[in-house]
Structure 1
Amino acid sequence: MEKVLEPSVLEDLIVRSPILSCMLLLVMGLIIGVVVVALIYKKKFGNVNAKLSNMLQEAKKEAELITKEASIEKKGLILRVKAELEKESNEKRSELQALEKRLVSKEEALENKYAGLERKENDFRNKETKLSEREKESLKIKEELQKNYEKSKAQLLNIARLTQEEAADRIIKLLDKELEAEKAAKIRKSEAEVKLLSEKKARNIVVLAIQRQAIDQSQEHSTKLIPIANDEMKGRIIGRDGRNIRAFEQACGVDLIIDDTPDAILISCFDPIRKHIAKIALERLLQDGRIHPSRIEEVVNKVRKDTGIAIRDAGEAAVVDLGLSTIHPELVKLIGQLQFRFSYGQQQLQHSIETAQLSGVMASELGIDPKMAKRAGLLHDIGKAVTHEIEGSHAMIGADICKKYGESIDIEHAIRAHHQDIEPRTVLAFIVEAADAMSGGRPGARSKTEADYVQRLEKIEEICQSYKGVQRSYAVQAGRDVRILVDPQKINDDQATLLARDISKRITDEVQFPGQIKVNVIREFRVVDFAQ
């Protein structure tokens, strides 16, 4: 066995030998350094391996991510390409469908056009065939007529033993008669057509007449001139800041024109009753001399009340004078208002009274109740009292008012029919119509002189008598109705139609008259025999 040195011995050797101790220290240092280096290298290599393993794992993950992204991009690209291809295919499909529809529509249009052309061609052929057939028929008819003509001509020459010229004259006369009948028929047809268009033309004529005469007529019928003593009264009527004139115009519903006419005041208003009230009130104010708003209102109210009483009294007086009773108070008031209405210068209250009196006389002669006839005559123009308030014909308005206040159906019908707005159906309606025409047509009734009426009647009768075949002629109703009696041996029905037209045209050209003139051609054939 080897001999082991004791520690004490080694310590002695080290202490005694410095070289040995150095070497020993060196060896120990080397061993420690190797161990330390080995440990360091081991630690470094361990960190490197860990990093390498981490890098490998990260690389694997990135590779997987790249692979996934690549696959996703590949799928997206595929989807995009697929969508684009589908879109292009849809667009091409739509274009093809649209093109197909256009082709189909064009094909249908061509087919329809072709079918239309075929129909037109067939129609043309049918018409051509019919024309050819008609031409053949017309040629046959012409030949037959020629044969019949020659045959009739020969028969006439043989039977009547007439020369060719005499036969031709007779044929011409027969043809003239046929032409007269055709001409009369055409005139009747033309008159019917003209009647349809006459209303429009009549409206244009009325509008033109209104445009020409509106200023003169409105000045004549809508103004009233009130003379004053001096121009100082104008200032008093106007008042301070115009308060008097404003109060007067507002109370009366009229316009006062002061500056245009010297020493006079002009009252302007379309309503004759308000104009009358303003006239009386202004005259009383000028006479009294006290002119201020309260006095103006007091005077105007009093005059309005007095005028209402005067209107009612006038209506009651007309009713009493005619011997009538039980007329509604509102109708009595409207009758009184007719004194402020004029037609061609004729006061309508007086006209209504005259019509009532004439209606009563004629009704008595015909065996009809004269009181009913007077009642209808008095009320026939009552619509004129409110025509400025209600639109329409005064005959229709008056009939509606009488119906409202309990008048009988016969009176209502007579009022509606007195201007031919409806066809008269009762004897009373004809009586009122005739009485109205007589009152309005008498000489002097409507601002015309007797000489004018006589001259016009003579001219009309002279025109009528100038025609061949006219026996007698009468102009009645102040020349608004002409009755012509003709010889039935010389004038037939067709010639009577032509005669009425010719006379109407000549009267229109040569005679001046208001309104219209009715031309009646009367052809009457009577045969009288006696039994013995």
Structure 2
Amino acid sequence: MTLITLLATIVAMLGLGIAAGYYLRYLHALSKKSSIEITNKQRLLEAEARAIKIQEKAEEKAAAIELEAKTERKVLEEKLNQKETRLEKREELLDGRQIDADSQKEALQNKIDEVKSIKARLDERKNELDVKLETIAGVTAEEAYDKIVSKIKTERAEDLNARLQKIELFNNEQIEAKATNILLSAIHRIGNVMPTSVMTSHLEIPSDDLKGKVIGKEGRNVRAFERATGVDVLIDETPGYIVLSSFDPIRREIARVAMEALLKDGRIQPAKIEEAVDAARKDVAQIVRKMGEKAAYDANVPNLHPDLVTILGRLHFRTSYGQNVLWHSVEMAHMAAIIAEEVGADVAVARAGALLHDIGKTVSHEVAGTHVEIGIRILQKYGVGEQIILAMRAHHEEYPYETPESLIVQVADSISGSRPGARRDSIENYIKRLTDLEAIATTLHGVEKAFAIAAGREIRVIVNPTDMTEFETHTLARTIATTIETQLRYPGEIKVHVIRETRVVSYAR
């Protein structure tokens, strides 16, 4: 019994414990639920408070924006009102001006009508007076004019002729002065070229022993060289030089280049001579082409045929009375351009005509005819313009002057060929002539110094004023001129300029 009671008691107690546990669990769940609800309510209240604050801030910001917008609107309205006021005032001003302009136009038109009316009355009155005057005089206006002109012609014919002659003389002097200025400007702006005037080339050698190598055994080498080049080789007792002589400057240059190469190589024999001459021909051909290109560039004559440029370059080795023909042509081109620009002619045609005027001299010793005729054929072959041919062919007056450029080319040729120092036999002779010119003056009594200037075209003599009077200077000038005429040979004329100057120096202390 006791055991059963004990078990029952235990079971009852277990059931009671379980019930109590469930009840406690239930109570815990209820408390937890209440805590969550309280937390949620607190969060809800906080959220509502924040929302209220945000709303209040938004309302404040909206009020500020609205106030700012109202202020800006008010400012804009004031500006618009001001502009409308200004526009209204401007319209009123323009309306007033328009009214004034209309009234002035009407007044001006009235004045024009009045002037026309007065002019019509004056014309009518003038016609009436002319009729009355013709009736009183018994002649018409035309007859009276003819009589007056005839009377003036009769009375003033001599005076008019004198005035016309004076005007004509004045115009001629002006034309001569202008022409002189143009020519002097052309001469002064172009530098003088100092050409070499030789028909030989002097080749310097380092040792006279090489002369034997050049001659060769029994003259074999020198004969082979002369046959290959067509140039005479002159070997004499002059130390340090071999002379190459030929009338053809191209051949002479080929021989010079070939001889320099042989002397540098040291092996001089017939086979080597032929190789050196062939190489020299190629080198000289390149030099000829380059000189032609340089001349065309310097003269500013573009678009020439390449073969014509090469032919032009051959003039570099041609001289005329000691003047290098190529650079004489370039100098002429510059002078012709200056003159053409001054007188209003075609500058390009004048340049080209001057540059190509002596082109025929390149083959004048190979082809029959004058160098002008040969030049015309060359230019026609390479399609040079007809105006350029007309400009170049009259420079020796073989053909008539058909264009202004032909006259300009002829004048430039004369200037370049006859200017002081352009053409001379040799520099030594030129210097000797100047020395002799100064010596003639310095040997006379009273002469302190004498200077030959302007390439020997003028001598300036300074005399001592204590040894010679003013009148004696005239006699001295005539004496010097007469002595020069009898003792010297020179082209053109020489100006004798005698200067007598007194200088007094004193000192203030």
TM-score (norm 1): 0.43
TM-score (norm 2): 0.45
Tell me: higher relative CO, structure 1 or 2? Use CA pairs within 8 A at least 6 residues apart. 2
Instruction: Give 1 or 2 for the bigger CA radius of gyration.
Output: 1
